[in-house]
Amino acid sequence: MQSPTAVLSARSVSVYYGSSLAVRQVSLDIPRGEIVAFIGPSGCGKSTILRCFNRMNDLVASARVEGQITYNDRDLYGPKVDAVAIRSRIGMVFQRPNPFPKSIYENIAFGARINGYRGNMDELVEGSLRRAALWDEVKDKLRDSGLALSGGQQQRLCIARAVAIQPEVILMDEPCSALDPISTLRIEELIKELSGDYTIVIVTHNMQQASRVSDRTAFFNAEATDAGSKVGYLVEYDRTERIFHEPAQEATRDYVTGRFG
Amino acid sequence: MLFNPQLERRYLWDNLFASATWIATGLAILVLLVLLADVLLDGSPRLSWQFITSLPSRKPELAGIAAALGGSIWLLVLTALIAFPIGVGAGLYLEEFSIESWWSRLIEINISNLAGVPSIIYGLLGLQVFARWMQPLTGGRSVLTGALTLALLVLPVIIVSTREALRTVPDGLRQAGFALGATRWQVVSAHVLPLALPGIMTGTILALSRAIGETAALITIGALTFVPFIPNNPTSPFTALPIQIYNWVSRPQQGFHVNAAAGIIILMVVLMMMNATAILLRNRFQKTLT
Amino acid sequence: MLLDSVCLSQRPKLRFNSKIAEILASPRQSVPMESFSQNPSLWQPNRQASQQTDLLVRSILGLFSFVSVATTAGIVLTLFFETVDFFRVIPIWRFFSETRWTPLFASAQFGIIVLISATVLTTSIAIAVALPLGLLSAICLSEYASPKVRQILKPALEVLAGVPTVVYGYFALLFVTPLLQKIIPGLQGFNALSAGMVLGIAITPLIASLSEDAIYAVPRSLRDGSYALGATKRETIVSVVLPAALSGIVASVILAVSRAIGETMIVAIAAGQNATLGLNPLVSTMTMTAYIVQVSLGDTPAGSIAYQTLFAVGTTLFVMTLGLNVFSFWFVRRFREKYD
């Protein structure tokens, strides 16, 4: 059943790398304006599914996506859909902060410029940095290299960079895994602040993080195949408090209570 | 809308850019093909046994490459004899024996700087040191002087490739040797060097192929351009393939230009044979280590 | 024995620990083996002999490693002394202020600027050819070519780098110049244009290969970051990858300039022997390297002014190329972005 408010929805999505299956038969809806967390052990395919939503998997020559993903009820992998256009609507924040080796200002302005932004660039840069709770820290050094910032600041710069092109959805691939606890906390607060305006999908290996920030949680698991590789699959997807307090599946319960692996 | 992505225009630029990179690569390779074709077309009619076995002459149709080919072979052998032990020895020292880190660093910096020195400067060094100061030993502008100069020129290449080859030998092998109470030299000579040798040979052959094509340094030390004989000892005056080619190119007569092209074909064949040997060795080397 | 094994396991650190190094360098004390062996008479290793061999080999190899340093010293000293002798006869101000280069004439003048202008001219033409060709090829190889195509193209470019320069000289003089003369009527038989262009082809592989290394070193995460903002491939390459690789690319170009300045045979064959001040690419001209070749071909007695000009010009050449090489190393170190 596709809910009427779903921005993204996956139907029986399987992803292959070369001939080996990485994730099988995932179906879920991402409701508009909510924060959805993907959790699960490593190798369960949660990042792989995330990267299908903005077609980053297109950049991996051997990757192949089966099934259907719709974005605002249009087939994301349809023949007339352009991956570049999709990515300007569905932004992404990565596991490790990856600011461009440019000034802080240019880091923000780059995406806007290529996407043909017609407004006032200075205002956009300031607005985006404020949105990412970074403005006060960097307003006097906008010409400094983005690489000169601390890890947590770099990651907020990357969020500001994603926000600047005003996407509808922001995908976050373990955005705090390379950060210290304090920086992590700031990013989590930021994610919650952004939630009203953006739909956010966040992959995390940190269950507390999922329970703190998300409205819904999807639990992925992996099983070994005969060939010795792992195949990920979706175990359970529900409201976050249900996943953490009264999950329907035994595996989910084991995982969220820490009895797993 | 605040944003106007104009995707079509951007994709047009993308295609133009991609085409430009392909055209540039294609152009570079096209020039290579044209160069080879030009030389083959110009020179192949002149190629004959008579051309290979004849000495230089003032008449283009009688002139041959024998003296230059002989000189180049002399150079090749002497350069290898001088540069191989010194280069490999220095590489061994830096990689296996050296303890003082500042000395290794000094030599490393020194080698990378030497690699950037124009070959003609080596020629000036050879002219002053080997051809003038050491004249009683080298016979002045002799094939030995040429080989010494070329040996210095290719030494950095041999040292660097020796070190790279030594680095591919697993450290466990050395430790196994030391654990049996062997000295460093016993370990290196018995275990490390044999394994690294094919890699060292590959690097040496590639370095020597650079020496064979080298012209400027030899001209500077005063290699003669008209030598109607094949050297019969290391202190004999000499000419070499690239010098003979240069000599023929700079003559106004068309006949000598044809000779130059034919000489280039011979030079390129020699180079190709050396490179093929190096590639063969490299492939065998890769097999033994995996 | 114990010491040995400790040293071995810590070999990389060892280089910086001079105390351990001293102990290691000194002759080792033998540990009695009797206790390990049931029959001592079977074990009589001549440890002293093998240690002496080790020391001997170590010294010889150390001497070999000294050769490269001696080469540098030799180059610097020969250039220096002959150049000093030259400036004893010809005041240094004449070298830098005169505007004609006629050392072999009766009314000799020694304006090095004449030769430098020719070198600058051929080098500029070469870079104008090699920079776009080399950089675009590097981009093509690293970003556009499939692994299979790359496996063909890369060795082909390496062949281009392995062609002896005398062959390029032949090509410039006897193929490119006649071809250009059909397009440019006033082009002389010897000219800086075709020499510079072919010189550019000769250094293209250098720029291509070093730039490709620099582009390859740009982490994938940066490209992903750009694509995730809706950038196309070209936008990603031009705005993110190339700036990130800039220090390596610049260094490759500086090294190529240095190579072009020191390159000899192409310009000696195709650019001519006519030492005139000016930057006209259509006429014959004489670079620093071509001058050295010209004098070397003649019979110049050692100690004569002509002989010493070789070294004065050589010193100028050496200082220019060394300066560029050092600058390029410094540039990479100073401006390389650190990614983890």
Residue C97 lies inside a defined structural domain of this protein? no
Residue B81 lies inside a defined structural domain of this protein? yes
**In this complex, is the C-beta atom of B127 within 8 Å of any C-beta atom belonging to chain C?**
yes
CB atoms A101 and C230 under 8 Å: no
Q: What stretch of H or E contains A188? A: helix A181-194
Q: Among residues of chain C, what percentage have pLDDT more than 70?
A: 87
Check whether residue B20 and residue B114 sit in a common domain.
no
The residue of chain A with its CA nearest to that of C240 is A100
What confidence score (pLDDT) does residue B99 get? 74
What confidence score (pLDDT) does residue C339 get? 62
Q: Are A31 and A5 in contact (CB under 8 A)?
A: yes
What confidence score (pLDDT) does residue B97 get? 85
pLDDT at C38 over 70: no
Residue C184 lies inside a defined structural domain of this protein? yes
Check whether residue B208 and residue B65 sit in a common domain.
yes
Å between B289 CA and nearest CA of chain A = 28
Least confident of A139-143, B112-116, C41-45: C41-45
pLDDT at C340 over 80: no
A56 secondary structure, DSSP code: G
Identify which has the larger pLDDT, B288 or A132.
Answer: A132
| Model confidence band, residue B288 (pLDDT cutoffs 50, 70, 90) | low
Domain extent for C120: 112-335
Least confident of B113-122, B189-198, C65-74: B189-198
What confidence score (pLDDT) does residue B232 get? 86
CB atoms B222 and C296 under 8 Å: yes
Check whether residue B120 and residue B211 sit in a common domain.
yes
The residues near B247 (Cβ < 8 Å, ≥ 6 apart) are: B225, B226, B239
**In this complex, is the C-beta atom of A117 within 8 Å of any C-beta atom belonging to chain B?**
yes
Q: What is the pLDDT of residues B134-154, one digit of tens each?
A: 988 888 889 999 999 999 999
Å between B4 CA and nearest CA of chain A = 5
Helix (H, G, I), strand (E, B) or coil at A169: strand
Mean pLDDT of A118-131: 93
What confidence score (pLDDT) does residue C72 get? 94
What confidence score (pLDDT) does residue C21 get? 46
Query: Distance from first CA to last CA of chain A, Å, rounded?
Result: 33
CB atoms C221 and A111 under 8 Å: no
List of chain A residues whose C-beta atoms are within 8 Å of the C-beta of residue B15: none
Average pLDDT of chain C, as a whole number: 86
How many other C-beta atoms lie within 10 A of the C-beta of residue A89?
19
CB atoms C229 and A100 under 8 Å: no
Residue B1 lies inside a defined structural domain of this protein? no
Check whether residue B14 and residue B125 sit in a common domain.
no
**In this complex, is the C-beta atom of C338 within 8 Å of any C-beta atom belonging to chain A?**
yes
Of C219, C229, C337, the CB nearest to A161: C229
The residue of chain A with its CA nearest to that of C242 is A101
Alpha helices in chain B (DSSP H): 7-43, 49-53, 66-92, 101-114, 119-125, 135-138, 143-167, 171-179, 184-187, 193-213, 216-220, 241-249, 254-289
Of C68, C165, C167, the CB nearest to B90: C68
Check whether residue B28 and residue B113 sit in a common domain.
no
What does the angle CA C37 – CA C40 – CA C42 come to, to the nearest 5 degrees? 100
Q: What is the pLDDT of residues C108-118, one digit of tens each?
A: 889 899 999 99
Residue C167 lies inside a defined structural domain of this protein? yes
Query: Domain of B174: which CATH number?
Result: 1.10.3720.10
List of chain A residues whose C-beta atoms are within 8 Å of the C-beta of residue C221: 94, 96, 98
List of chain C residues whose C-beta atoms are within 8 Å of the C-beta of residue B246: 166, 169, 265, 268-269
51-70 in B: which are within 8 Å (CB) of C?
none
Q: Are B203 and B231 in contact (CB under 8 A)?
A: no
**In this complex, is the C-beta atom of B98 within 8 Å of any C-beta atom belonging to chain C?**
yes
**In this complex, is the C-beta atom of C239 within 8 Å of any C-beta atom belonging to chain A?**
yes
Instruction: Please give the interface size between A and C, counted as residue pairs whose CB atoms are below 8 Å apart.
Output: 73
List of chain B residues whose C-beta atoms are within 8 Å of the C-beta of residue A88: 3, 5
List of chain C residues whose C-beta atoms are within 8 Å of the C-beta of residue A60: none
Identify which has the larger pLDDT, C16 or A184.
Answer: A184
**In this complex, is the C-beta atom of B179 within 8 Å of any C-beta atom belonging to chain C?**
yes
Residue C199 lies inside a defined structural domain of this protein? yes
Mean pLDDT of A59-72: 90
Check whether residue B204 and residue B177 sit in a common domain.
yes
Of A92, A99, A114, the CB nearest to C228: A92
Å between A218 CA and nearest CA of chain B = 33
Check whether residue B119 and residue B151 sit in a common domain.
yes
Of A88, A98, A115, the CB nearest to C225: A98
Residue B138 lies inside a defined structural domain of this protein? yes
CB atoms B117 and C75 under 8 Å: yes
Place of tokens 């993080």: A209
Identify which has the larger pLDDT, A111 or C34.
Answer: A111
Place of tokens 């299908």: A52
What confidence score (pLDDT) does residue C12 get? 39
CB atoms C226 and A94 under 8 Å: no
Dihedral pair phi/psi, residue A37, rounded to 5°:
-105, 140
**In this complex, is the C-beta atom of A85 within 8 Å of any C-beta atom belonging to chain B?**
yes
B95 secondary structure, DSSP code: I
Beta strands (DSSP E) in chain C are none
Give the integer Cα–Cα distance in Å for B156 and B185.
23
Q: What is the pLDDT of residues B24-37, one digit of tens each?
A: 999 999 999 999 99
Of C16, C79, C293, the CB nearest to B101: C16
Check whether residue B11 and residue B87 sit in a common domain.
no
Check whether residue B23 and residue B138 sit in a common domain.
no
Place of tokens 């599914």: A49
Q: What is the pLDDT of residues A14-24, one digit of tens each?
A: 999 988 899 99
Check whether residue B32 and residue B82 sit in a common domain.
no
Fold classification of A6-99+169-256 is: Rossmann fold (3.40.50)
pLDDT at B238 over 70: yes
Q: Are C181 and C194 in contact (CB under 8 A)?
A: no
Residue B2 lies inside a defined structural domain of this protein? no
2-21 in B: which are within 8 Å (CB) of A?
2-7, 10
Least confident of C26-30, C109-113, C190-194, C277-281: C26-30
Chains contacting C (3 or more CB pairs within 8 Å): A, B
**In this complex, is the C-beta atom of B117 within 8 Å of any C-beta atom belonging to chain C?**
yes
Measured CA to CA in angstroms, residue A52 lies from A60, B266, C184, C228 at distances of: 11, 58, 57, 12
Question: Bridge-partner residues for A234, per DSSP?
Answer: A220
Q: Among residues of chain A, what percentage have pLDDT more than 70?
A: 98
Q: What is the pLDDT of residues A131-188, one digit of tens each?
A: 898 999 999 999 999 999 999 999 999 999 999 999 999 999 999 988 899 989 999 9
CB atoms C243 and A88 under 8 Å: no
What confidence score (pLDDT) does residue C4 get? 38
Of A86, A94, A114, the CB nearest to C225: A94
Kindly give the interhelix angle for C112-139 and B7-43, rounded to the nearest 10 degrees.
120
Give the integer Cα–Cα distance in Å for B253 and A223.
80
What confidence score (pLDDT) does residue B266 get? 95
What confidence score (pLDDT) does residue C24 get? 47
Q: Is the ipTM of this complex over 0.90?
A: yes
Q: What is the pLDDT of residues A190-219, one digit of tens each?
A: 999 898 889 999 999 888 899 999 999 999
Query: Domain of C178: which CATH number?
Result: 1.10.3720.10
Residue C192 lies inside a defined structural domain of this protein? yes
| Model confidence band, residue A55 (pLDDT cutoffs 50, 70, 90) | very high
List of chain B residues whose C-beta atoms are within 8 Å of the C-beta of residue C69: 106-107, 110
What confidence score (pLDDT) does residue A142 get? 93
pLDDT at C107 over 90: no
What confidence score (pLDDT) does residue C16 get? 38
Mean pLDDT of B73-99: 92
158-177 in A: which are within 8 Å (CB) of B?
165-166
Identify which has the larger pLDDT, A5 or C312.
Answer: C312
CB atoms A88 and C229 under 8 Å: yes
Considering its fold, how many domains does chain C have in total? 1
Q: What is the pLDDT of residues C240-294, one digit of tens each?
A: 999 999 999 999 999 999 999 999 999 999 998 888 888 889 999 999 999 999 9
pLDDT at A1 over 50: no
Domain extent for B282: 51-289
What confidence score (pLDDT) does residue C9 get? 36
List of chain B residues whose C-beta atoms are within 8 Å of the C-beta of residue C166: 213, 215, 242, 245-246, 249, 264
